[in-house]
Amino acid sequence: MKIAVLMGGQSGEHDVSLISGSSIAKALEKQGHTSINVTISLEGIWQLDDGKEVTILPKPSKGLWLVNENKELPIDVVFPVLHGPKGEDGTVQGLLELAGLPYVGSGVLGSAAGMDKGVMKALFRDAGIPVPKTILLESMDTEVVETEIGYPCFIKPANLGSSVGINKAKNLGELEKALQIAFQYDTRIVVEEAVNDAREVECSVLGPEPKASLPGEIVPDAEFYTYESKYHSNNSRLIIPAELSKEQIKLIQELAIKAFKAVGAEGLSRIDFFVKKDTGEILLNEINTMPGFTQISMYPKLWEASGISYGVLVDKLVSLALEKHQKRSQLKISR
Ligand SMILES: Nc1ncnc2c1ncn2[C@@H]1O[C@H](COP(=O)(O)OP(=O)(O)O)[C@@H](O)[C@H]1O
Ligand SMILES: [Mg+2]
């Protein structure tokens, strides 16, 4: 198959996406497909490896549109390996819907709901999944934080990833500073009770009848899992599989599948949890509908530990995309 792999993108996670995208492209080639790499610059320009500019037109299409040649480059499926805003949040998925092209992963709804930390938490609560106490702010309202949440708390832009703009506050001064920072990144801010003394455990889910992998643990080398400790430190460790009791593993897997369904995710997602060290209590932190996908990333590593190799995994995701497209194209659109 001819598979367009979209990577880079207009987000803080541009560089990570390039690494994820090239490993996926290589794996697809190894599986016998042709990968057409599309790099999206920080400015939002889409280019092939030979420098030719392409785009996707918002009308029924058979492939990518070569901008300067005014013609179509046919493809069978799109693999959007984009993290963060303008890629993982339903925007690119919307464009692919208009083009009528099959694509890997969640659709518009699952992507958008899984990106917004306020919306995802509300959906999780609604599904009966335990989450830390959270409120959504659209203005600098420190009073409501102090009465509803208290300290220490986490302040997060609703629609970002990679810990960008996230801070922990232990008092009013730190809260004000953290809110100012967060409001530079988004108009919607989530403030959350800090889960103290917790391990961070993650679980991979693969659709369409969602299956959960063995969980893995992340041990950050900082007070919390910051941007620095995610990408610029060699001291953050992954423990795969995580050392947990059978009952805890089972519960995490069940909650992961519930979370996947709660936001309407499709194809793949990584679900991140806190496990309290003292009580063993499990709380859901977030869902990532296009998780990091380098050879050493948690998502594929967890499947490897559960018996699915990287190559088989990307191949499976492509087949799922085609199946979903096939199914959806049979739906009636009028009476
Ligand atoms: N409520 C919380 N209690 C304790 N630590 C938290 C909490 N929320 C976030 N963190 C820490 O901050 C990190 C990043 O927050 P997260 O919500 O996962 O955002 P991102 O989407 O940027 O990964 C987490 O991995 C964790 O280390
Ligand atoms: Mg996270």
Ligand 1 atom nearest residue 218's Cα: 25
pLDDT tens for the chain, 335 residues long, are 999 999 999 988 899 999 999 999 999 999 999 999 999 999 999 999 999 999 999 999 999 999 999 999 999 999 999 998 899 999 999 999 999 999 999 999 999 999 999 999 999 999 999 999 999 999 999 999 999 999 999 999 998 877 889 999 999 999 999 999 999 999 999 999 999 999 999 999 999 999 999 999 999 887 778 877 777 767 778 999 999 999 999 999 999 999 999 999 999 999 999 999 999 999 999 999 999 999 889 999 999 999 999 999 999 999 999 999 999 888 888 88
Provide the pLDDT for residue 113. Answer: 97
CATH of the domain spanning 133-193: 3.30.1490.20
Q: 262 alpha carbon to ligand 2 midpoint, in Å?
A: 18
- Cα 153 to middle of ligand 1, angstroms: 11
Q: How far is CA 211 from CA 48, 87, 255, 266, 303, in A?
A: 34, 24, 11, 11, 10
Q: Using alpha carbons only, what angle is made at residue 112 by residues 23 and 271, rounded to the nearest 5 degrees?
A: 60
307 C-alpha to center of ligand 1: Å?
A: 29
Alpha carbons 9 and 22: distance in angstroms, whole number: 13
pTM of the model: 0.95
Q: 311 CB less than 6 Å from ligand 1?
A: no
Spell out the CATH class of 2-105: alpha beta
198-289 to CATH, choices 3.10.105.10, 3.10.20.90, 3.40.50.2300, 3.30.470.20: 3.30.470.20
Domains in the chain: boundaries? 2-105, 133-193, 198-289
Strands (E), 123-251: 134-137, 153-157, 167-169, 189-193, 198-206, 211-212, 216-219, 237-239
| pLDDT for position 228 | 77
